[in-house]
A and B are shown apart, each in its own frame.
Chain A
């Protein structure tokens, strides 16, 4: 499919990118990997006469692991993330998730920031990022602000990013050493049908505080499962798994689509919550 005419503006600073966002408004989109943007443009569902290419901005290529967090620059690709030894060391579940995003070509070009900015509901990273309390750092004309991923994603292809803002990084706070996590997904099409992220601390077989269970790809945005009453519950008890699976099936609001009927999706959500919990406990020390 041939693309309609547009101009690519290669920028070398965030300030320049923000200035172009201000100048062109809705007529411009931020461009990095293009894996979602160019698809939408080819399909004709979106058209931007101006693309702001942020790849030349050196500062956005940084992937840093500090003692408190993983900071992922806006042009860091899935390919980079799945190969980074420091990320694999501190967040092995996230590294494995990244290694299973889409396919190798999408990972080679696509960025995590682009994945979030596009807000495609059927995506792997958002559920785990929400469960981990990750934040997105945005820069605009009046300065920097940061949003929880759960606040960034507001609907299907909808985000809280202002028209004059640019994502500069994603920050994932590093969990304490004894925090366990899991991400499991069900996928028959090109994109996940259901993804379940689980993050919890288990001591003496019991949850310390409530487990964070987040369902991705089912609703328009990742759905956190209310689990306050499971603080202190026996993590390996089948009744706990059952309660969580039921809570998850009730928490999501699926619709019928190519990935299945709403009823089917509720069922699969329950199954995958139990599997996520199983993985969480299998990693038990």
Chain B
């Protein structure tokens, strides 16, 4: 009680980690050096800390680390294949879908969860899904376009109406 060992798959690697019950998932992943996951609002509003838990997007700032026990955690660091970026990462670059980049890891993880569940979303679906991820500098048009580019490679570069 209070402290336990959990076994999880973190970005494809099996790990056993001892954690105290009150430790948050964001403390766990950042403590392991995975600092792509960002803390911002700390209240589940902004989405900067989004990671995938068994494929579902969660706020790692408001999820206990022990919830990862027996489950799969994906963070932004797990997306690229060596030096080859994940298509969503590449699309964010191609679309200039960020400026400061602080929200970007969370945006990309949220988008991944969406595209894994619905590979063919329309713009309204992307907007609805991503409305819990806040960007203070770029604006949302280019972000929605980046996600749509991945979903519809045949329409890459198309402007949203």
Contact = CB atoms under 8 A, between A and B. Distances in A.
Contacts of A51: 21
A99 B62 CA distance: 20
A109 B113 contact: no
A183 B147 CA distance: 30
Contacts of B132: 102-106
Interface centre among B45, B53, B129 (most CB of A within 10 A): B45
A39 B56 contact: no
B43 A39 contact: yes
B21 A108 contact: no
Interface residues of A, number: 25
Interface residues of B, number: 30
B20 interface: yes
B22 interface: yes
Interface in A1-48: 1-9, 34-35, 38-39, 42
Contacts of B42: 1, 42
Interface string B10-54: 000000000011111001000000000000001111010010010
B53 to A, nearest CB: 8
Contacts of B43: 39, 42, 190
Given A3-B22, A5-B22, A104 B57 contact: yes
Contact of B44 (A6, A7, A9, A39): A39
A8 B21 contact: yes
B137 to A, nearest CB: 20
B62 A39 contact: yes
B51 to A, nearest CB: 10
A79 interface: yes
A99 B2 CA distance: 35
B22 A105 contact: no
B131 interface: yes
Contact of B1 (A9, A35, A79): A9
Contacts of A105: 44, 47, 50, 57-59, 110, 132
8 contacts: A2-B27, A5-B20, A7-B1, A7-B2, A8-B21, A103-B133, A104-B110, A104-B129
The 6 closest A-B pairs by CB, nearest first: A103-B132, A3-B22, A108-B56, A8-B21, A105-B59, A7-B1
Given A2-B24, A39-B43, 5 more contacts: A5-B22, A6-B21, A103-B45, A104-B129, A108-B53
